[in-house]
Amino acid sequence: MPELPETETIARDLDGALRGAVVRSVELLRTDVLRPRAALARFRALQEARIARVWRRAKSIVIDCGDRALVVTPRFTGALLLDGTPDDTYTCLRFTLRDGRLLRYHDVRRLGSVALLDAPALAAWDAGLGPEPLDPALTTERFSGIIRASRRAVKTILMDQRRLAGVGNIYANEALWRAGIRPTARGASITRARLAALLEALRAVLTESIALRGTTFRDFRDAYGGRGGFAAHLQVYGRAGEPCTRCGAPLRATHALEGRQTVWCAGCQR
């Protein structure tokens, strides 16, 4: 599932390509990705809209058209693709721009969502999300307060979008390994000093992945159909049973936390 680095990559690509572009027409080929479904008729209002900017919030891409915004959450197989081969087999939503270019929301399993929000609805959606991990306003003290306020497993807290926006399974695993913290450790039990190290590790792994345009195992594609390059740099995710690169102990795996695979090193994560 695209996380912060992947959606940030898409948003940056589209912002550079689409700022100031005008939407000539909108075609809906699959309506089941719309949230809410009743929003179908409202999409006609995007015709002749000018794209002011494209940005990311949490794991979503926001296409800002002034008084309304298109919020796209790709989830497992979704992709926002600009130009390229116009294969409509899995295209759900297609924009034709006034300059002739095409922007398509492509989703094989149609588990992603597309919402058209006015300014109040966008503000309400934004308010329901936690702070961004790369935002300088997220101080060590605030981050520690978020984690230590809960007795849930620290990995679960990191992935709770209401508490911290944009972090998913891949980067929670990686940040916890870098910080030497066991994923099942209770948030309230972790010292502020260790949480300062965790925030530093989280920011580092997210920044490094953005620089390499995210992680692609199978489905993730950037706005031009390219693959992310960070998979080769993963230290724990997808490496269950292999030796830890830090201490040599075999990496363990479980699905006990939120049903997602957690990989950690019993030798150096405590």
Question: What does the H/E/C string look like for 25-39?
Answer: EEEECCHHHECCHHH
Residue owning tokens 């309506």 = 31
Kindly report the backbone phi and psi dihedral angles of residue 54, in degrees, each rounded to the nearest multiple of 5, phi listed first: -130, 130
Inter-residue contact 210 to 171 (CB < 8 Å): no
Catalytic residue chosen out of the listed positions 35, 50, 227, 260: 260
Return d(Cα 89, Cα 96) in angstroms, integer. Answer: 17
End-to-end alpha carbon distance in the chain = 27
Catalytic residue among 2, 74, 133, 183: 2
- Helix, strand, coil tally for the chain in percent (to 5): 35, 25, 45
Phi, psi of 91 (to 5 degrees): -80, 130
Cα distances (Å, whole numbers) of residue 249 to 105, 182, 197, 233, 255: 43, 14, 22, 18, 20
Beta strands in 90-138 (DSSP E): 91-97, 102-107, 113-118
Query: Is-catalytic flag, 258?
Result: no
Dihedral sign (CA 14, 15, 21, 25): positive
Phi-psi region of 217 (alpha: psi -120 to 50; beta: other; left: phi over 0): alpha
Token output for 156: 């679960």
Decide if 59 is catalytic.
Answer: yes
- Is 155 an annotated catalytic residue? no
Asked if 37 is an active-site residue, the reply is no
Instruction: Out of 3, 6, 8, 174, pick the active-site residue.
Output: 3
Name the active-site residue from 56, 59, 94, 178: 59
Residues forming the active site: 2-3, 59, 260
